[in-house]
Each structure stands twice: as C-alpha cells, then as structure tokens.
Copies of this chain bind each other. A is one copy, B any other.
C-alpha cells in the first residue's frame, strides 16, 4: 500500500429485492443487505479482534457527519484483561453475564457542548451517527457489535477517566466475532436472534404525518 492510494469509484451497490432474510427479518422495500444483516448477538467467540481492524472501525466512526463538524464522539476501548475487567464492572449485571466473553468492550461518550463551550443541541444525535458507522464497518469486516444502555454511568466515567461534566456516557459496546447461540446460558440462547421492526409506513410518511406509533 502506498501513502497516496487513490479511492476507487464510489461503492455503488444494487439494493436487493428481498422479502425474507435467513435471519427471519422481513423487509418492506429493497435495501442493501448490510443494514438488515446487522443485529446484536450476545454470543461472541473468545478470539481477539486484530488491532488493525479496531482502527478500521474507529476510522469509519471518525468520518460521520456532525453539526458544524464538531465530532463530539469519544471512544474508549478495552482489549486486555485488566481494562476489560474494569469496563465489565461498569456494566449492568445482566449485560456483564454475556459481555465478559466479548474480546473488546467500548464506551462511547459524547461531548455535551461545542468545542468553544456553547450549547450543542445535537451532540447525542451526532454521536449516534458515528456509532452506526462503526457498527456497519464492523459488519463489512465480519465482526459484530452489541450496544448496551445498561451500565452505571458513574462507573463508566471512573473506569475510563472521562470527565462527566464535559461528556455524556452514551452506550457501551461489546465487539467481536459472533459465536454460537448454544454457547449462551439457556434463557439468553433463546433470545439470540434478530429483532423485527415496525412497518416502514409507520416511520416514513410523505408531506404531513398521518399517524404515529402511539396513535
């Protein structure tokens, strides 16, 4: 590889007309399988994620758009036993039970204000965009991610040294190569499948909103 390799043509792909994925997910419109193929397993193989692939994930996350290019995201990750033990301690017990087998754990923080200290309305939204890029780049590498809202934020700040006055702990992420469902304890093994979604017509409407989920 050279220091000035040129980006190839835009990666156009034809969306697939699919109605049922092997996962059991049913789509309402043609869509690139990248988006339907991603779901959040709890079973991970113990094998490590190569460091260069971790860098590729964070590189994808890096290029997400944000308001005024503020780039509010901050990822702190754990791969060695010492760091992972500390990160696991911050997770809710229900997540800790399976996430302890994931070879990498990540906390994603979002900066609460702009770099010059002004209010920043979309900092969480922008961090979410960055996270999605990471999750999709992971799939393109054959890796899987599982986002978690269940963690103790105070422990997350303590484990990572991140200042809670400046950053909000958004999610924890378990990361690795997907393992077999039967490696999980029975109650979790039964949940090891992709979730569904509300119909597209519920979440995308033309001109004026006619109904919403709670109507």
Interface residues of A, Cβ cutoff 8 Å to B = 1-8, 10-13, 15-23, 25, 27-40, 52, 54-56, 58-65, 67-69, 71, 73-80, 82-83, 110-111, 115, 121-122, 124-133, 135-137, 139-142, 147, 149, 159-163, 166-167, 170-171, 195-198, 200, 203-209, 212-214
Could you tell me the distance between the alpha carbons of A46 and B158 in the complex, rounded to whole angstroms? 52
Q: Which B residues touch A55, using CB under 8 A? A: 28-30, 200, 204
Which residue from chain B places its CB closest to the CB of A113 in the assembled complex? B214
- The CB with the most chain B CB atoms within 10 A, among A28, A64, A203, is that of A203
Q: Which B residues touch A135, using CB under 8 A? A: 65, 129
Contact check, A63 vs B83: say whether CB atoms are below 8 A apart.
no
Top 6 A-B pairs ranked by shortest CB distance?
A: A128-B128, A1-B17, A132-B132, A58-B204, A7-B21, A29-B55
